[in-house]
Amino acid sequence: MSGILTISEHRQGELTPASFEVVSAARELKAEKDQKLMVAILASDPDKYAKQLNLEGVDEIIRIKTPEEEFQVDAYEAAIRELIEDRRPSVALVPHSVDAWSYAPVIAVRGDYGFATDVFGIRYDGDDLVATRAAYAEKLHMELGFPGRETVLLTVRGNVYKPVESEGSAEMMDFDAPSVVARTQHLEYIEPESGGDVDITQAEYMLSIGRGIEDEDNVEQFRELTDLMGFTLGCSRPIADSGWLPKSRQVGQSGKTVANCKVYLALGISGSVQHLAGMKHVPNIIAINKDPEASIFSVARFGIVGDLFEIADEMKNHFE
């Protein structure tokens, strides 16, 4: 078996950034062991996206016409499964996206392929493919192997591989999707409520609070500190889920990416992968946490292990 296949994803008419990241991961693998790089796109009009996928290193773009433009899980599973059976790649890389969380495990189980999710390292050890992913809430890494598997399906963590941008000279191919009975129906997209107050994606200086603030009554004191410092207040998921701050303030995969942030002060945020996805690119991350092993420190430039209430109180004296 030879060849690397990547699956591209799109939503609301745009290819997702992760679609370009999986091509980057595939190119690294191709550099280690030369094999054909195939990029598949499933859409009602795949031509709309196919040209953008003509990236350096891609040998073949496979256009698969689906009955619907929107993601439909049964259609994706059937088409990707049949494509893998037809092309027999050694590796198939898909984004570790919400869509893939629905379809990737099903394809792996039905095809009896090697399978690992949320992978951020892929390499060959001799002929064997090895995938690295996190374990125990990011405190350890685990290496997985897939002995005896002709095809290995991996979902690739976001924001790890730098998206490929340069143009290539790929050949365009078409592949017929099998017809399926769709057992889910897209009804509509619901955009997040703006919250009206602030767009954190524009903020340059942010102070974000997490579970470590312990109680809704404590939000106020951090809001005060944030205002004193001239920062913008953000939060991690548990704070928004509890309704202590509006969802529009949430940083992370299911919240916002703070694209323009220069300094990010994380208070009482342990640093789940989902949160890191929205902020780990920030050049100056400062974290305060009582747990010295908290994964937020792995992306921080400065760290303080300690009581965030005491430190926040003291901080107020410096910003009056």
Which residues 219-248 are close enough to bind another protein by CB under 8 A?
229-230, 237-238, 240-241, 247-248
Residue 310 near another protein by CB under 8 A? yes
- Pick the closer one to another protein by CB: 53 or 287: 287
User: Of the candidates 57, 114, 212, 234, which one interacts with another protein according to CB under 8 A?
Assistant: 114
Residue 206 near another protein by CB under 8 A? no
Cα–Cα distances (Å) from 206 to 34, 153, 261, 267, in that order, read 44, 38, 7, 11
User: Of the candidates 48, 82, 106, 150, which one interacts with another protein according to CB under 8 A?
Assistant: 106
- Pick the closer one to another protein by CB: 173 or 228: 228
* CA dist., res. 275 & res. 210, Å (int): 10
- Pick the closer one to another protein by CB: 31 or 140: 140
Count of CB atoms within 10 A of residue 202's CB?
12
User: Of the candidates 15, 130, 173, 198, which one interacts with another protein according to CB under 8 A?
Assistant: 130
User: Of the candidates 134, 160, 177, 219, which one interacts with another protein according to CB under 8 A?
Assistant: 134
Beta-bridge mates of residue 154: 93, 116
Closest CA to 302 of 290, 291, 312, 288: 288
- Pick the closer one to another protein by CB: 26 or 273: 273
| Contact indicator for 203, 260 with CB cutoff of 8 Å | yes
- Pick the closer one to another protein by CB: 49 or 297: 297
Q: What letters, b where the CB count within 10 A reaches 16 and e where it falls short, cover 53-62?
A: bebebbbbbb
CB under 8 A: which stretch of 40-48, 60-68, 98-106, 162-170 binds another protein?
98-106
Ranges within 69-88 binding another protein (CB under 8 A): 70, 73-74
Ranges within 240-299 binding another protein (CB under 8 A): 240-241, 247-248, 250, 253-257, 262-263, 265, 272-273, 284, 286-287, 291-293, 297-299
- Pick the closer one to another protein by CB: 34 or 230: 230
User: Whats the size of the chain, residue-wise?
Assistant: 320
Q: Give the angle 258-164-14 at the CA atoms, nearest 5°.
A: 60
Identify the three-state secondary structure at position 63. Answer: strand
**Hey, what are 48's tokens?**
């709309």
Identify the three-state secondary structure at position 58. Answer: coil
- Pick the closer one to another protein by CB: 51 or 88: 88
Ranges within 135-194 binding another protein (CB under 8 A): 135-147, 149, 183-192
Q: Considering CB under 8 A, how many residues would be counted as binding another protein?
A: 101
**Hey, what are 288's tokens?**
């305060």
CB of 181 to another protein, least distance (A): 9
- Beta-carbon contacts of 185 under 8 Å, excluding residues fewer than 6 positions away, are none
Ranges within 18-57 binding another protein (CB under 8 A): none
User: Of the candidates 60, 118, 150, 224, which one interacts with another protein according to CB under 8 A?
Assistant: 118
- Beta-carbon contacts of 305 under 8 Å, excluding residues fewer than 6 positions away, are 289, 290, 291, 292
- Pick the closer one to another protein by CB: 198 or 263: 263
| Contact indicator for 87, 2 with CB cutoff of 8 Å | no
